[in-house]
Amino acid sequence: MRKNNRERILDTARSLLPRYGYSGISIRAIAARARLTTGAIYFHFASKRDIYKTICYEAIDLLLTRFREGIAGRSTPNQKLISIYDSYIEFFHRHRDYYNILMEYKAHYGSQESGSDEIARKFTELTRVTEETISLGISENRIRAIDPLMLSVFLAAVTEGMLQYKKLGLLDALDITDERFRGFMAEIVDRGIHI
């Protein structure tokens, strides 16, 4: 079955963005690679930014699905928090192109950029899943009273920092495996927030 033009455009952009970055591709480049006219692109998307936003939303939705699936299979709040971490690490390994596209967004676009706040709002859905998990643990007296939003942001920042260290090769240079870091995160979560 032939893909529709919208899917061809997105597939092409998904392949070009990790290689050349947002600044390194144009609507013309996407059209040429997809074997479409620029008019066909503009029929489906208002701008290159619109294509990029659509792909970012896909990536975030995929990660949200992984978070929710991981949480559903766990019984305690601590296990649920570690499953969120595991889901993010799995996303990093299995969907590296999506991960890199999201990181480019984070690195390249500030809040003053038109439309970036839409993607940032979408990103907050990931934080809300963690925040809800922490809030549930607090209400069940399984997690000590702590600001759920701040803890969510802290855990995300630690995970993101670890992945950036991994991309730079620093964890390998320090002989820190994913499993070792995961065990450390589990211990910190358990000792730091457990009642």
Confidence (pLDDT) at 113: 53
How many whole angstroms separate alpha carbon 40 and alpha carbon 31?
8
**Contact of 82 with 185, CB cutoff 8 Å:** yes
Q: Roughly how many angstroms between the first and final C-alpha of the chain, as a whole number?
A: 56
pLDDT tens per residue, range 61-105: 999 999 999 999 899 998 999 999 999 999 999 999 999 998 887
How many whole angstroms separate alpha carbon 43 and alpha carbon 54?
15
Confidence (pLDDT) at 120: 84
Within 10 angstroms of residue 79's Cβ, the number of other Cβ atoms is 16
How many whole angstroms separate alpha carbon 92 and alpha carbon 11?
19
Confidence (pLDDT) at 192: 74
Confidence (pLDDT) at 110: 53
How many whole angstroms separate alpha carbon 185 and alpha carbon 182?
5
Q: Where do the domains of the chain lie, and which CATH numbers do they carry?
A: 1-45 (1.10.10.60), 47-193 (1.10.357.10)
Confidence (pLDDT) at 104: 82
Q: Which residues of the chain have pLDDT under 50?
A: 1, 111-112
Confidence (pLDDT) at 1: 43
SS3 for the chain is CCCCHHHHHHHHHHHHHHHHCCCCCCHHHHHHHHCCCHHHHHHHCCCHHHHHHHHHHHHHHHHHHHHHHHHHCCCCHHHHHHHHHHHHHHHHHHCHHHHHHHHHHHHHCCCCCCCHHHHHHHHHHHHHHHHHHHHHHHHCCCECCCCHHHHHHHHHHHHHHHHHHHHHCHHHHCCCCHHHHHHHHHHHHHHHHEC
> Which position has the token pair 């978070």?
67
Full-model pTM: 0.85
Spatial CB neighbours of 81, under 8 Å, sequence gap ≥ 6: 130, 133, 134, 155, 189
Confidence (pLDDT) at 111: 46
Confidence (pLDDT) at 106: 65
